[in-house]
A and B are shown apart, each in its own frame.
Chain A
Amino acid sequence: MSTVKFTVSALAVIAASASAAAARDQVQVSGSSTVLPYSTIVAEVFGENMDFPVPVVESGGTGSGLQKFCEGVGENTIDIANASRPMRDAERETCTANGVTDIMEVRIGYDGIVFANASSGPDFAYTPADWFNALSAKVVKDGQVVDNTAANWNEVNPDLPEQEILAFIPGTKHGTREVFEEKVILAGCEESGAMEAFVASGMDEDAAEEACMTLRTDGRAVDIDGDYTETLARIESSPNGIGVFGLSFYENNTDKLKVGTISGVSPSTETIASGEYPVSRPLFFYVKKAHIGVIPGLKEFVEFFVADEIAGPDGPLAEYGLVSDPELAATQEAVANETVMQ
């Protein structure tokens, strides 16, 4: 019977420890997989140098991170949500409804989005218009709106290499997709004059934008719902493909990938910081002010994250591929004052 006794006492111990859930002593972070590597780098250095435990960083995407963030205030909710896009109004409303009112928005820097093909392939010099003409469902030919039938890049633009069009673009659940549509496809639509043609053909402004951003569905544009490692694997198996990557991912895999220029500018932390390279987006994280002072090390972690030694142009984040924010000083001040979003 001693085994029964043991089991019963073990159960009792577990139940007791479960009910007396100890106060959480580490910061919990969740959200965007684009911000994840930066977050883990900072968490690691933070844990090394401070007397606080290393924050626990989860990934899962901006949307699910913000959803968790907005679940409420308290120790079993997360403290920080990483986001590769600003918080949406609907998300803000959910937050408010659940009592998460004072939120600090911290912009950590910028992330470039690059187009890269297998390193054995030819060099590409794109313009946003090329991408629009290659991937949009409807294009304008000789003043007429027609279905897109381009099969090779040189049909889109004679200067591009003769290679079949096959693009691996981020799936719709990724924040990167939105940036790709807005800064590349839509920009290309306007640049090529297709936007005007759409409006001239009887669409209103919104419908024309919609038409610009509707991508062809004949298998030339492939949505990748996984992460960049999946895109890389797809390019390795079909060398004619061109993938959309984050700058930091590309910089870690320059031996396998060859990056294309956009409007003659090749992507780098410098060209993105100066604004010459057009396709970039800010990265954020959101902090629950109500948790500052409750969760040990939360404010210290946030301050540490935006410190010059970390997020500045010479810090480890920049080295990993983050384009540091020229207005970092303002962010530091906002963090120090615990300024919340309006």
Chain B
Amino acid sequence: MTDLPLSQPAAAMPGRRTGSLLAQDDRTRRRNAAESRFRLYGVIAIAISMIALVVLLATILTGGAGAFRQTYLNIPVTLDAEVLDPNGNRDPAEMAKVLTLAYGRVLDAAVDGTIARHGIQIEGLSEADIDGLISREASAQVRDRVLANPELVGQTVEFDVLVGGRIDGYFKGRVTMDSAERDSNTSPQQLMLAQELADRGEMVTRFNWNFLTNADASDQRPEAAGVGVAILGSLYMMLVVLVLSVPIGVAASIYLEEFAPKNRLTDIIEVNISNLAAVPSIVFGILGLAAFINFAGLPQSAPIVGGLVLTLMTLPTIIISTRAALKAVPPSIRDAALGVGASKMQSVFHHVLPLAMPGILTGTIIGLAQALGETAPLLLIGMVAFVRNFPDGLPGGLMDPASALPVQVFNWTQRSDPAFIERASGAIIVLLIFLLCMNLLAIWLRRRFERRW
């Protein structure tokens, strides 16, 4: 755009326009056409990105919605004393020697009992079909409850147990009678049995809080896998990032922007900070592996290492946005503060910083959101792992192994059981909700505290 002075009179270009002012000449028509073409390009660009976004979100939402629903079977289980407490003294220490495999047999008998009680008869239904109906997680569930309360042995107790991944897939439409025909892990008879039980109200598909609270599970029990450990690991990492990167980043930018002399050295620092912001994130992972694990001896797979690596990655973002926010505060504010006798530091901390706060907060939250979704640096420091134990509370939990949401997604997409694809999409939804909340918070803070001059 050229800034021609507006006051320039039309008469300064004599002889240019000969016809009526209302009739458009060729030049004007061309300019107008160019403008409407440009508008069209803009609309097309927006439309393409909107379509991409809608398709992406629709795929993830339709694919991942199933992870939030899960099928359970309600069965009365007779806790056979002979199997579960062979010594008969109800001592939890001795009963702990009975492995989940034995509990599996007790559960198989319970499923047989339920089928018999309802008088369900299906031709060609094999024993393997019946045993495969419920998840392996169920035996651990029953064992935990029995060990917590040994008096239950010998009684008949009602349990709500997870059903196997294929059966669950059937109620969600992922598995059909056709595919079951070819599938070696299920059979049409098994699905018919599940349908009969569902018709009788014993098998229900309902909202699955466990997806948010459970830990990861192995390939054999996708139905039990959840993002609990990953959410906790991500939270711990974000805490480390917040606690470290905000003070360091803000202090560095205040110094650079307000106090530092402008010389070669600060120029070099400035260029380097901008460069760091563009460094591929995996580089920070390599650095983290060398510095924090191999040199400093911090444990692998721990949120503290992940947090430290992500801090390094987030710092440039925070420094750049903080400096921009500080620059946006008009110099008149500083001058006024200094004019009434405030020291340089007082002018910065009492006047400039509060006014720059919305910008700093926005930058910080966007930096955190970026760190939350980062996978690559975590690959190298052992966060892409199967972690089933929850980390402890703070601060000790920072040293315990944990997973993180984006790496959990990565992890699940590599599993062989198709049920994990649904879980991966579910984890993406959880991650997106977190990101959405953080971005909304950033927008709200900006709206709430923004000052205009």
Contacts and interface: CB of A to CB of B under 8 A. Distances in A.
Answer yes or no: do A and B interact.
yes
Interface of A: 4, 7, 10-11, 13-14, 17-18, 21-22, 24, 26, 28, 30, 33, 36-37, 39-41, 43-45, 47-49, 51, 53-54, 56-60, 71, 75-76, 78, 119, 227-229, 248-249, 251-255, 309, 316, 319-320
A145 to B, nearest CB: 40
A37 B219 contact: yes
B395 A13 contact: yes
B136 A254 contact: no
Given A11-B243, A28-B300, A44 B396 contact: no
Given A37-B415, A44-B218, A14 B395 contact: yes
Contacts of B386: 36, 39-40, 43, 56-58
Contacts of A76: 293-294, 297-300
B182 interface: yes
5 tightest Cβ-Cβ pairs between the two chains A and B: A54-B388, A40-B218, A57-B386, A255-B179, A255-B183
B363 interface: no
Interface string B284-326: 0000000001101111110010000000000000000000000
B304 A18 contact: yes
Interface in B148-205: 175, 179-180, 182-185
21 contacts: A14-B395, A26-B401, A30-B382, A36-B386, A43-B218, A43-B388, A44-B220, A49-B99, A54-B387, A56-B301, A56-B386, A76-B299, A76-B300, A229-B413, A229-B414, A249-B416, A252-B418, A255-B180, A255-B182, A309-B99, A320-B219
Contacts of A48: 100, 140, 143
Contacts of A43: 218, 386, 388
B129 interface: no
A43 B388 CA distance: 9
B389 interface: yes
B101 A309 contact: yes
A65 B297 CA distance: 19
B282 interface: no
Contacts of A309: 99, 101
A41 B183 CA distance: 21
Nearest to B247: A7
Most buried by B among A22, A26, A39, A252: A252
B238 interface: no
Nearest to B186: A255
A51 B240 CA distance: 30
Contacts of B300: 28, 56, 76, 78
Nearest to B180: A255
Contacts of A51: 96
A228 B387 CA distance: 22
Nearest to B403: A56
A44 B387 CA distance: 9
A254 B184 contact: yes
Contacts of B296: 18
B244 interface: yes
B277 interface: no
Given A76-B297, A251-B184, A253-B416, A47 B388 contact: yes
B80 interface: no
Contacts of A251: 184-185
Interface string B382-417: 101111110000011011010000000000011111
Which of the listed residues A18, A24, A249 has the most CB atoms from chain B within 10 Å of its own CB?
A18
Contacts, number: 136
Given A37-B219, A49-B99, A49-B100, A21 B185 contact: no
B166 to A, nearest CB: 9
Contacts of A44: 217-218, 220-221, 388
A28 B301 contact: yes
A259 B279 CA distance: 45
Contacts of A21: 297-299, 399
B416 A248 contact: yes
Interface residues of B, number: 52
Given A7-B247, A316-B220, A58 B385 contact: yes
Contacts of B417: 252
B178 to A, nearest CB: 8
A252 B140 contact: no
A168 to B, nearest CB: 16
Contacts of B99: 45, 49, 309
Contacts of A18: 296, 298, 304, 399
A172 to B, nearest CB: 19
Contact of B399 (A17, A30, A37): A17
Nearest to A252: B416
Name, among A4, A7, A43, A49, the residue most crowded by chain B CB atoms within 10 Å (CB to CB): A49
Contacts of A59: 384, 414
Given A44-B221, A49-B100, A309-B101, 18 more contacts: A14-B398, A17-B304, A18-B298, A21-B297, A21-B399, A24-B299, A28-B301, A36-B386, A37-B218, A37-B415, A43-B386, A44-B220, A45-B100, A48-B100, A56-B301, A57-B385, A58-B386, A71-B294
A30 B218 CA distance: 15
B183 to A, nearest CB: 4
Nearest to B220: A41
A48 B382 CA distance: 23
B385 A56 contact: yes
Contacts of B396: 17, 22
Contact of B219 (A14, A24, A41): A41
Given A255-B182, A316-B136, A11 B218 contact: no
A18 B295 CA distance: 13
A255 to B, nearest CB: 4
A10 B243 contact: yes
